[in-house]
């Protein structure tokens, strides 16, 4: 995560700190969502593209239909009025982001795929 983002996320508030991702068009992967999760912010995002790989509705964040401003507002209001939900989503989102989307997790996953696809070669035994 860029160094300036933790400061931004830690000082940005409505009534409670949160991050909302309002993409109308599908994105293959929402890095901004993961950055918010790594900053322990509850995340509200539209159900578009790779968001469903990142957020489990009600567990690691809240979802709403793309382009539905009323649904977005309802989810933000829900978080603003429920500090326990904010805390729970922030913690569970952080844990999921660390487990699956942090730099070490991604490096480990890529290494696993490379090892599976290109296993180490065995040296041929030759007789002298």
CATH number at residue 49: 3.40.50.2000
What percent of the chain stands above pLDDT 70?
74
- Work out the mean pLDDT of the chain and round it to a whole number: 82
pTM exceeding 0.85: no
- Of 126 and 80, the structure prediction assigns the larger pLDDT to 80
pLDDT band at 14 (very low <50, low <70, confident <90, very high): very low
For 59, the domain range is 4-117
* Residue 123 lies inside a defined structural domain of this protein: no
* Residue 128 lies inside a defined structural domain of this protein: no
Give me the sign of the Cα torsion angle 61, 64, 67, 73. negative
pLDDT above 80: residue 5:
no
How many structural domains compose the chain? 1
**pLDDT, tens digit (0-9, with 9 covering 90-100), for 37-49:** 998 999 999 988 8
pLDDT above 90: residue 57:
yes
* Cα–Cα distances in angstroms (integers) from residue 79 to residues 8, 18, 125, in the given order: 19, 8, 65
User: What contacts 83, CB < 8 A, 6 or more positions away?
Assistant: 16
* Residue 125 lies inside a defined structural domain of this protein: no
**CA separation for the pair 67, 49 (Å, rounded):** 14
pLDDT on residue 64: 93
């Amino acid at each position: 995560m860029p160094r300036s983002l933790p400061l931004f996320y830690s000082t940005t508030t409505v009534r409670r700190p949160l991050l909302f991702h309002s993409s109308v068009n599908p994105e293959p992967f929402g890095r901004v969502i993961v950055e918010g999760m790594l900053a322990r912010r509850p995340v509200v995002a539209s159900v578009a593209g790779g968001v469903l790989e990142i957020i489990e509705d009600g567990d690691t964040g809240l979802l709403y239909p793309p382009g539905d401003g009323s649904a977005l507002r309802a989810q933000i209001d829900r978080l603003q009025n429920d500090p326990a939900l904010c805390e729970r989503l922030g913690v569970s989102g952080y844990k999921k982001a660390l487990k699956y989307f942090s730099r070490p997790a991604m490096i480990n996953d890529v290494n696993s795929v490379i090892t599976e696809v290109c296993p180490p070669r065995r040296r041929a035994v030759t007789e002298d």
